[in-house]
Structure formats: structure tokens, C-alpha cells
Amino acid sequence: MNNILEVRDIHTYIGQFYILQGVSVAVPAQSITVLLGRNGAGKTTTLKSIMGLTAPRRGEILFEGQNLVGKRPYDIARLGIGFVPEHRAIFKALTVRENLEIAERSSGDLKKRIDFIFDLFPDLKRLYTLPGGQLSGGQQQMLAIARALVPENRLLLIDEPSEGLAPVIIESLMHAIRTLAKQTTVLLVEQNFIVARHLADRYTIIEEGRSVHAGEMASLTQDPALIHRYLGAA
């Protein structure tokens, strides 16, 4: 199978806490895969484990066949993986432009990418010289994603992009993520099941630190019992 990323049975500790107790996720190239699960299930920790921010003690994470476990976050990013963390950690005192320029440091070339970024998020063009702190929540999320697009990443990890945003903003974000996924692969955490259902091709459900179910999104939407059991929705 043509998986750009394969997380294989990872076990991750945070301090002395045994948080991930066997998570596996397969992410086919050029697709959108979503991690689902209740609050505290281990979705964010899974993304951080991939990035090496909370390194797994056991298991393998293969990116284009190469094992990431044991590599440092910076080196993992350099391989072509972008991470958009929860709560959009942009620099509020820096302008939109400066936020994007900082993202250049690792390996990107903003000049080469800026047209693509403006096509995807036209708002950012208008706001280019404003401080990040003056942007709305939705615009800050767009900037957070745009930062991960400055290097030509082949895989993007995006943690809860729709959190706290108005429906109309979520709609335009979903459109952007779908456009993005034509060029790159996306692994997403999304608590809003309606958003997840419309965006994702595949899903993996995480419960209490373990991956318990995975498959095509189209079949999950036809299985209300499964959705109810693991997600408490629908």
C-alpha cells in the first residue's frame, strides 16, 4: 500500500504517565486522514509523537519508509513534515509577513510559495502588514496553516483547525484544506464530526491511548452505532 506515513504500535510517555498504549495509523499519500476520539484520548499526543515532541518509547513511525523514532523534532520537520499545533501559536506581535518569514528559516522560500498561499487564503494578502494579534480567530488559523506551507512539506499535521471558529469561517477553512490535499497529504485532528465527515477520506479512532478502529470515512458515516460508541455523537 502506498502510505506516506505509517505509525506502528507506538507507546508514548509524558513524564511518568503512560499516555499512548498502542497507536497505529496508516496515512495514504494525497489524501486526508482524520484522528477521531473523545477529549483526552491521545490525538494531540499522537501528532506530537510523530513530530518527535513527545518521542515514543516503543514502536515505529515510518515516513516515506524512513523511521522517525529517535530523530529530533527539527530534523523531522526538515524531512518535509509541517505541524500546525492546537490553539494556533502564531506570533501576535509580528506581522503576517514576519510570521511567514520566520517559517522560512527551516527550509522554505517564501517568494516561491507566496502566490500559492495567497490563492489559498486571500485574506492574508490584505492583512500582510498587520500584526498577528489583530487578526480574527479564523484568520489566525489561516496564518498558522500558511506557516506550515512555506517549506514544501509533503505531509501536514493539523490539530483541531475548526476549534472555536464560526461556521462560515470553518466552511472556508475546509475548502482550503481540501485544496491543499491535492498537493500534499493531510493528517488532521478534528472534534467536529460534521467537519471530519466532509473533509476526510479515512479515519482512525483513538480511545484511551489506543487506536481502536480505522477505515474509510464513507463507511463510518453509515455506522451510527460505531460513531455513538466511540465518539458519543450522532
Ligand X SMILES: Nc1ncnc2c1ncn2[C@@H]1O[C@H](COP(=O)(O)OP(=O)(O)O)[C@@H](O)[C@H]1O
How wide is the angle at C-alpha 181 spanned by C-alphas 175 and 183, nearest 5°? Answer: 125
Q: Which of 121/203 has CB closer to ligand X?
A: 203
CB of 38 to ligand X, least distance (A): 7
Please work out the total of residues on this chain that contact Mg ion, with binding judged by CB under 5 A: 2
Separation of alpha carbons 96 and 210, rounded Å: 38
CB of 28 to Mg ion, least distance (A): 23
Q: Indicate the burial class of 138 (C-beta count within 10 angstroms; 0-12, 13-18, 19 or more).
A: buried
Under 8 Å CB-to-CB from 102, ≥6 apart: which residues? 91, 94, 147
CB of 144 to Mg ion, least distance (A): 15
Binding mask 36-75 for Mg ion (x = CB under 5 A): -------xx-------------------------------
Binding residues for ligand X, rule: CB under 6 A, are 14-15, 17, 19, 37, 39-45
Q: Are 20 and 49 a contacting pair, CB within 8 Å? A: yes
Can you say how many angstroms the Cα of residue 74 is from the centroid of all Cα atoms in its chain? 17
Q: Which of 43/88 has CB closer to Mg ion?
A: 43
Q: Are 5 and 50 a contacting pair, CB within 8 Å? A: yes
Query: Should residue 153 be labelled a site residue for Mg ion when binding is judged by CB under 5 A?
Result: no
Q: Which of 40/224 has CB closer to ligand X?
A: 40
Separation of alpha carbons 19 and 43, rounded Å: 10
Q: Out of ligand X, Mg ion, none, which partner does residue 39 contact, by CB within 5 to 8 A per kind?
A: ligand X
Residues near Mg ion (CB under 5 A) are: 43-44
